[in-house]
Amino acid sequence: MKKINKKSLLSVFVLLLFTTLFSQESLTKFNTSWTSVLPGSALCEPENTSYGFCLATDARNIMGYSSTGTLLWEKNIGRVRNLSLTALKGDFILLHDKDKNIIRLFNPSGSEIWSKPLDFNVSSKPLEGRDGRFFINGEKTVVCFGINGIQRWKLETEYQKELPMQELPDGSIVVFLNDEGGKTRGLRISPFGEELENITFTGVIKTAYTCKDGILLTFTDGSAGLFGLKDGLAESQWVANVQSGNSIFAVNRDKTEYRLLALSKAGITVYKLRSSDGFVEESKTVNEIDGTALIKAELSDSGLFLADSNKALLIDYEYKELWYAVMPVNLRNNTINQFTYLHNDYLVFCSKNWTMDAYHTNDSKSVLKSIHSDYSSFAPIDLVEINYYTQAGFFNALKDPSITSKIKEGNFGKKESQWLTQTLSLARLYFMDATTSNFGTHTEKSVFETDSAGFETVLIQLALLCTDQTQAAAASIISESTSKLYCRTLLANITGYDPDGKLLDAIERNVSRSGSSDSVYLNTVCDAVYSICLFMGRPAYNKKGKDILKTFMGAGYSFKTRSYARDTLKKIMALEL
């Protein structure tokens, strides 16, 4: 028998050990993608944004980071110990101070825009709406706020089940009420606070998730299904043809993809369901993760990320393993207090010792495909009802100045749908009248010419309503109208909310033809530009705003205009974006 050399045996052992240790990555401080030091301990889970994430610490600050670990901004928020963060459309951040029961809105650069007290205890994470509005619910309450801080409506309900609100494809929301007779009940509410339907589900709901097709539900009996709309009414669309037992859904951030996850001690079975009928198109069991100890399940553009306290993995949409690792020891010994999985596949851990470590799981580009539309089914534009030559229809009622006061006061509820329909319709008619030389068949003057004071009142209401649609309508008028009166009315009353940059584009076009002699009008333009830069809090907006103001520095403008524009420019520069 050949004698085995001890050195050879040792080499084989080291090789086997090396292979075992490095066949799967262990997440340690030595192989991070990046590491950063926080000024304090993270108070809640970091919130995903388009640029990366934001978080708040017990050092009295809120910060925005890129996914690669660059600190983009940092702002003081005072002493807040118990809070939650919600990222809204456009990277606005809603902070709920749970101790003081106050909500605070921060723009994308972390500057606080407004704060409002709540008179009820919040039950779940706020639900984002489609036009800057968002919804918050409590034990027996649902409220809706606009991006400008106005409470649009408040609705008292029966006792609610501890489930987050969800949205149906038409923009209506569903609040889940307490179980009765072994079944969960629900209340469907319009985005304008009108009760639409009382709903009784087929069983006791355990979890609920919004997707592009409706609301995905799992039940305590192990079934799962889709609840949606048919002919304008809410009803069950399908029940998945699989008994998934203990299950949840994973839904991607733009709500276009979802997977049903059946959780067990032996692993997690992932089901791809056909959206039309819930038929199982594909399935795969992941044995590496303990489904009963699952702590994170995220569906990204790359695929499905799953993690328990010991292991984490990322599989693509064809179930190919892209990344697999052993979780940090610090997670198991409770020295990590928060962690999150970013949209572009970074895994970020925040430790109690104020360090933040991130690991890149996959190279991908995260692209948000928005499925949100408007609320046109609840507030449709109507170009027929009003005869804008004779002031027939709703014009006389709408130009009532008391409506302006009601909008400013808030809590106008379902009246908003009527006001939106009417103001948007008039704005559209005026735009058509202003941009088409032969619009209409009448030779007499329209109300836009005969009743400028009345239409001015309507434009104030349009600006104060502050939705995506009203801001776009205001931008269209500012861009094309030759009436300084109407443009000045809009510029003086718009909130700085400019979700797609249309307002700044319109102002730039308006300036090019407004002349240089009307200093009062140009001062109004300066104020509007500043309000947009302040509200939106983005470098691109600031650059464009500064370029517009620099136009007024030319020799053709008066000393008063140049001075006012210069002072406004300094205010924008002080925003430090």
pLDDT computed for residue 15 by the predictor: 38
Q: What is the pLDDT of residues 485-498, one digit of tens each?
A: 999 999 999 999 99
Q: Which two tokens stand for residue 577?
A: 């974006």
Count of other CB atoms within 10 angstroms of residue 358: 25
pLDDT computed for residue 1 by the predictor: 42
Tokens 């030091």 correspond to what residue?
37
- Positions of the chain with pLDDT under 70: 1-24, 366-372, 385-392, 437-443
CA dist., res. 147 & res. 393, Å (int)? 30
Q: What is the pLDDT of residues 159-183, one digit of tens each?
A: 999 999 999 999 999 999 999 999 9
What is the helix (H) or strand (E) element at residue 464, kind and residue range?
A: helix 452-465
Q: What is the pLDDT of residues 44-64, one digit of tens each?
A: 999 999 999 999 999 999 999
Q: Which two tokens stand for residue 283?
A: 């399935």
Dihedral angle sign, alpha carbons of residues 322, 328, 329, 335: negative
CA dist., res. 223 & res. 184, Å (int)? 14
pLDDT computed for residue 391 by the predictor: 64
Type of residue found at 523: N
Q: Which two tokens stand for residue 485?
A: 């009166």
Dihedral angle sign, alpha carbons of residues 219, 221, 222, 228: negative
DSSP 90: G
pLDDT computed for residue 436 by the predictor: 75
SS in 3 state form for 96-133? EECCCCEEEEECCCCCEEEEEECCCCECCCCEECCCCC
Q: Which two tokens stand for residue 374?
A: 């408007």
